[in-house]
Structure 1
């Protein structure tokens, strides 16, 4: 079996950050979300991985490499335009050959991995497609499955106005080569894309067997700022306390906090769960809880909580910053104490001056 990881989308719901950064590379607890997926794939016993890439191919190649450090072999497959998930399967058709394959959306996070799904698939009963499902509060935002009592799926619909169930299709699928015929037969949707849900429905309509199973544990599609921050919180819940950087006598590190080597904390308080990356400098500030601070950030005279800071962010007299996503080398400055709480979503190299 092979795995197909999709990372060619534009990430429009995470703009402006995704104008310069692949959405699959936005970190959860300082690790790009796509790497959690690749690790889960390898843990489930799949070693041949194709990664579908688009405009952000170079950054993705730099982050993933040839797969050897994960114990895998990675092949990059170029999708010239993001024309839908089923289009990505078309792009990968020659590489996939006659193999069964797992399709994994690169911006999805599944805490429990996919070992249970693979075990169910391998144990049978046989199916031409096996889709992972999760109960959701707003079914109109997702592809929704209508399952029968025996576990087969009788209908699947993309973002239905009147949903038949509350079972969303998680971005993880198992397919036999039968899906290629279905993908070839579907037409572009009203959204201008080739929808994988249409291909799965084509399998059902042609008499093929499609099965579904509920995800075990936590799952999140990190395609929006709120969902990404929620997933970051979930990952941080499992942080193990480790203080390898320097913490002076005037500082407090409270709870489950990971402080990487080269970091320094001076006259500050860091509240867990939080992660402080390598070469981060925190001075006269409060960080956390539920905050990830990536490598090389400087935080001075500021307060930040429930946020994700990417590499090289600088906060100077800013805050409180809350529920924010700050791109690489973004800078936020302010007059210090007395500011009202701010929520910011900033692209790489942004500069913001807070005045009140």
Structure 2
């Protein structure tokens, strides 16, 4: 079995951050969200991975992932020159996939607990497709599946106005080669895309069995700033203290705190869970819980909590920053009248707050 990881989306809901950095590389607890998916693929025993990339984000993803050897994977890059839908991405990968069964994983998704059950069900039952589902409070924003009494999918509709179930399709699938024939007969949806939900519906209409694996594990599509901050909190809740950098005697660390090699903490209070990346500097500051400070970041005479700082960001003299996502190489300084701040800043910004 091969894997197809889709990493070509533009991340329009995360602009301006995604003007300069792919959404799949936005860090969760100082690790790109794409890396969690690649690790899940590896942990499921799959070694050959095709990564679909496209547009301006392609070079950055290639640079970060490389040949995949750091993950124990053999990576092949497949170019989708314009975003024409998930089924279109499968279509451009057809030569790479050949006649193999394959896992498809959306690179901006996070699923706790792995994908072993999904793959095992597919191998045991041998359907044409096995689809991961989860219950959601408002299914109208998702592809929605309807099941029969045997747990097979008998219908799937993309973003229905009147959903027939609360089971959302969450972006992890296993397909046999039968899906290629279904995709070849698709026409673009009202969005101008070839929808993977339409391909699944075509399999069902052709009498092909489509299985469902319903998970209750934590899952997030990292499509908004709120999703990313919530996921960062979830992941940080699982860390353990590790201090490889320098922490002086005037500093106080409580809770789970990661201080990566080369990071320096002086005269500061850090209340975990907090992750400091390599080379980060924290001086005369207070870091509250659920904060990730990226590599090479600087926090001086400031307070920040429940936030993410991307590599190279600087904060100095700011009384409090909360629930914020600070882009790469961004500089935030204090104005004359300090107060509470909530920020979403693009890369290479300079902002004075007051």
TM bracket (short chain): over 0.9
Post-superposition Cα deviations, 1:186-222, rounded to whole Å, max 9, x if no partner, equal 1111112111111111111111111111125211111
C-alpha contact (below 8 Å) 2:274/2:291 kept by paired residues: yes
Corresponding residue for 1:117?
Answer: 118
1:186-335 alignment to 2 at 5 Å? 186-335=186-335
Residue equivalent to 2:71: 70
The 10-residue stretch of structure 1 (181-190 or 43-52) with the greater mean CA deviation from structure 2: 181-190
Indicate the residue corresponding to 1:48 in structure 2: 48
**Mind listing any 5+ residue stretches in structure 2 that lack a counterpart?**
none
Aligned to 1:176: 176
Report the Cα distance in structure 1 between the residues aligned to 2:190 and 2:228, rounded to whole angstroms.
27
Deviations 1:138-181 (A, max 9, x none): 11111111111211011111111111111111110000011111
1:341 paired with 2:340, answer yes
Post-superposition Cα deviations, 1:297-321, rounded to whole Å, max 9, x if no partner, equal: 0001111111111100000112411
SS in 1 for 2:90: helix
SS, match of residue 83 in structure 1: coil
Q: How does 1:27-176 map to 2 (within 5 A)?
A: 27-55=27-55, 56-124=57-125, 126-176=126-176
Q: For residues 339 and 143 of structure 1, what CA distance do their matches in structure 2 show?
A: 45
Query: How large is the Cα RMSD of the aligned pairs?
Result: 1.2
Length, aligned pairs only: 353
Query: Which whole-Å CA distance do the structure 2 matches of 1:65 and 1:295 have between them?
Result: 19
Question: Does the CA-based 8 Å contact 2:266-2:282 persist in structure 1?
Answer: yes
TM-score under structure 2 length normalisation: 0.97
Secondary structure of 1:191's aligned partner = coil
TM-score, with structure 1 as normaliser: 0.97
Q: Distance in 2 between matches of 1:339 and 1:211?
A: 56
Distance of 2:119 and 2:313 partners within structure 1? 40
Q: Tell me, in whole angstroms, the C-alpha distance in 1 between the residues paired with 2:9 and 2:196.
A: 14
- In structure 1, the partner of 2:9 is 9
Distance in 1 (alpha carbons) for counterparts of 2:220 and 2:18? 18
1:135, 1:331 → 2: CA distance? 40
Distance in 2, Cα, partners of 1:167 & 1:339: 46
After superposing on structure 2, the runs of 4+ consecutive aligned residues of structure 1 that deviate more than 6 Å are: none
What's the CA shift string for 1:76-118, capped at 9, x where partnerless?
Answer: 0000001111110111111111111000000011111111211
